[in-house]
Amino acid sequence: MPPEAPAGLRGTVLVAGVGLLGTSVGLALSRAGVDVRLSDPQPEHVRTASGLGAGRPAGEGDPHPCLVVVACPPALLGEVVAAHLRAHPEAVVTDVGSVKSAPLVDVAARVPDVADGRRYVGSHPMAGSERSGPLAATASLFEGRPWAVTPHARSAPEAVETVEALAAACGAITVRMTPDEHDRAVARTSHLPHLMAVLTAGRLAGAPAEQLALSGQGVRDVTRVAGGDPALWRQIVAANAGALTELLREVRTDLDGLLAAVETGAPLEPLLEAGRAGVAAIPGKHGGTPTPVAPVYVAVPDHPGELARLFADAGEIGVNIEDVRIDHDPGRPVGLVELAVRDSHAEVLRSALESRGWTVHR
Amino acid sequence: MPPEAPAGLRGTVLVAGVGLLGTSVGLALSRAGVDVRLSDPQPEHVRTASGLGAGRPAGEGDPHPCLVVVACPPALLGEVVAAHLRAHPEAVVTDVGSVKSAPLVDVAARVPDVADGRRYVGSHPMAGSERSGPLAATASLFEGRPWAVTPHARSAPEAVETVEALAAACGAITVRMTPDEHDRAVARTSHLPHLMAVLTAGRLAGAPAEQLALSGQGVRDVTRVAGGDPALWRQIVAANAGALTELLREVRTDLDGLLAAVETGAPLEPLLEAGRAGVAAIPGKHGGTPTPVAPVYVAVPDHPGELARLFADAGEIGVNIEDVRIDHDPGRPVGLVELAVRDSHAEVLRSALESRGWTVHR
């Protein structure tokens, strides 16, 4: 017997758009006992998502939904949300798009009826986007992650509660903020870093191979996200142009100062110190204050089974590993593995690994 | 009995400056059977390095060195190299600094004797810098890593050979380039990415906590290197100002274009595509063409032993893991571990892990 659907989601939920996010919402809600229907402009995506257990294909004669979750490309959000507000005059409608203010303006323009607008509450789960499509979906995508819920001035309290019930049913942690606050937050923590990675990576395209031969882990980390889908990112940037413009202008001011300092030999410390403070300001694992961690470097032969042996030994030693990094420098038959552990555990782990025959770099 | 010293290093090698790099050079050369002497303005560093086995403290009555390896802070390089060229009129002198052109100009100005200048050949091992001091040193720091050897126009061929023997004795792979080529290469692959990370992280310092609560893995990766030592980076940037200025101007041009495009809604694809091409241009593990890898996502409880179990299973399955990433999003009691494996092995690993009871995110 399936579990009883959570309070607030006792009716049917329609998921409109079954890519990575929509299908994952369907999987999580179905697992929670909710009656889910799925729609998408691409019928094969509906078949796939339904086959995975995300819900039943939407059709004629379906019960009226209590909630519609719109999970379509950013540029279409306003149009699709408005269409569902009109098509389902009793339903709460939300969306899971990466920006919140521009779609709200679009919805408001398309839905002049104040009563209809009350039923719309935007939201944004902070879940991975390296992959796409229903096959990449998973019921646990949102577990423990922040899910921004962004009511507008006229959103009905009951509609906000329904959307918060959705986030809770998916295992996420609700963070309530206004659409503007949300957009400023993701401009700073996601969209600006993405564009800075793009600008950095742009200097590598077409560079001489002998220059790129000196690439280390640093440049790989700084540029990784710039490998993301240009079509998606064009839409995200366009939809959050206001908040991004402000930050990009601040960066240009800093860049001008940096250029002048490099050219004239003026002190760089204030800028470098601000960067260091920024890194320290990012909240730690599990949302708390960052745990002070220390690196333990271990030489590991680059073939199957060796990492297993290392982690088995670390596990037996009883030290929790907070993070792992494998060094990718060219030409090393032996990899250097960096294990990040609590400060106070680092020396214990080093000694214990050495006594088990590992080469630990001190 | 120690091994016989490699050809080209049969005399005494003096390491001047025993921080991370100098001490690691001493350890590697001593292991290779070379007679190593150590000096440093801080006598306790010499005692530490010598105690670790990096060589004997330099003193009166030492044999004349055949090679002096200068490993001091970037701003002092020219002065210290020149002093050793004068003090040891038969020795080859090299350094391991992060930039090569500015110190060369400095050396040339201080050593007007052409015959003396012939004995100087700059070099730069591409080895980690997150840690510092002799205690962080290891004989295997340079194993399999690129080591740029940067002769100038008047360097004697025998002197170049001696420095290449040094790199080889440390287990590194020599990459010969001119000082200018080297500085342009590291400006692009190391110094510019560092400054872009600093500018990005600078936008986080002092940001409201509720905005930072939405931080994900992307911003962590982009900004990580900005946590590095400001005093060191000020010197590196100052010493490579020429090459960096050129790249920073290119970035400003791109940034101006980006800002204009964001403000006017012009197409961003060319810029985003250039970034993607840049990420793809970074050479792969072990210096070859990048191996096409695919991610396998596994849910792992956040306590000791679970990662060990995962890697043990992956090892038994026989799939080599190219990279690991642990997801740090706030509030997750279960971590999401991303295993990067060869494209063709991903599905094998997913199925086999599932059959062993792991939750694999598809």
User: Is the model more confident about A290 or about B168?
Assistant: B168
Three-state secondary structure call for residue A307: helix
Neighbours of A263 (CB within 10 A): 14
Q: Given this model, what pLDDT does residue B286 score?
A: 44
- What sign for the dihedral angle of Cα B177, B180, B184, B189? positive
Please report residues of A whose CB lies closer than 8 A to that of B142: none
CA-nearest residue to B330 within chain A is: A286
Q: How far apart are CA B210 and CA A286, in angstroms?
A: 15
* Residue of A283 and B278 predicted with greater confidence: B278
- Structure token pair of residue B354: 């599932």
pLDDT number for residue B39? 97
pLDDT above 90: residue A15: yes
CB contact under 8 A, B146 and A362: no
Q: How many CB pairs under 8 A join A and B?
A: 482
Cross-strand pairs, B16: B39, B70
The interaxial angle of helices A269-281 and B192-202, nearest 10 deg, is 60
> Comparing A1-10, A234-243, B210-219, which segment has the lowest mean pLDDT?
A1-10
With H, G, I as helix, E, B as strand and everything else as coil, classify residue A341. Answer: strand
Among the partner-chain residues B196, B212, B276, the one whose CB lies closest to the CB of A282 is: B212
Residue A331: per-residue pLDDT: 47
A183-281 and A293-361: identical CATH topology: no
Residues A185-193, mean pLDDT to the nearest whole number: 96
Give burial (CB, 10 Å; 0-12/13-18/19+) of A229: middle
At B122, the amino acid letter reads G
Residue B218's alpha-carbon distances to A19, A71, B215, B254, B290, in angstroms, are 21, 22, 8, 21, 21
Closest Cα partner for A279 from A327, A222, A321?
A: A222
Q: Residue B309 has what pLDDT?
A: 80
pLDDT surpassing 60 at residue A289? no
**A287 in helix, strand or coil?**
helix
pLDDT (0 to 100) of residue B328: 47
**Between these two residues, A131 and A145, which has the higher pLDDT value?**
A145
pLDDT, residue B148, reads 93
- Residues A24-78: tens digit of each pLDDT: 999 999 999 999 999 999 999 999 999 989 999 999 999 999 999 999 988 899 9
Please give the class, per CATH, of domain B183-281: mainly alpha
d(CA A340, CA B179) in angstroms, rounded, equals 36
User: Across the interface, do A221 and B222 touch by the CB < 8 Å criterion?
Assistant: yes
A109: part of which helix (H) or strand (E)?
helix A101-110
Q: What is the pLDDT of residues B234-279, one digit of tens each?
A: 999 999 999 999 999 999 999 999 999 999 999 999 999 999 999 9
DSSP per-residue string spanning A197-222: HHHHHHTTTT--HHHHTT--HHHHHH
Average pLDDT score over residue span A316-341: 69
Tell me the CATH number for domain B12-177: 3.40.50.720
Fold exhibited by the domain B293-361? Alpha-Beta Plaits (3.30.70)
| Touching A: B residues 110-129, CB under 8 Å | 126, 128
Q: What is the identity of the amino acid at A318? A: G
Low-confidence residues of chain B, pLDDT below 50?
Answer: 285-288, 328-331
Name, in order, each residue with C-beta under 8 angstroms of A312's C-beta and a sequence gap of 6 or more.
B308, B311, B312
Residue with tokens 């490699």: B6
Instruction: Detail the DSSP E strand segments found in chain B.
Output: 12-16, 35-39, 56-57, 65-70, 92-95, 122-125, 146-150, 173-176, 293-301, 323-326, 334-342, 359-361
Neighbour count for residue B158 (Cβ, 10 Å): 12
Contacts with A324 from chain B: Cβ below 8 Å = 307, 324-326
How many CB atoms are closer than 10 A to CB A76?
18
Which of the listed ranges A2-11, A123-132, A331-340 does the model predict with the highest average pLDDT?
Answer: A2-11
Domain ranges of chain B: 12-177, 183-281, 293-361
Query: Which strands sit side by side in the sheet containing B173-176, from one edge to the other?
Result: B122-125, B146-150, B173-176
Pairwise CB contact (< 8 Å): B223 & A265: no
Contacts with A189 from chain B: Cβ below 8 Å: 204, 211-212, 214-216, 219
pLDDT at A270: 93
A309, B315: Cβ pair inside 8 Å? yes
Asked if B143 lies within 8 A of A218 by C-beta distance, the reply is no
The structure tokens 């423990």 sit at A144
Confirm if A335 and A358 have CB atoms less than 8 A apart: no
Mean pLDDT across chain A: 88
**Amino acid identity at B61:** G
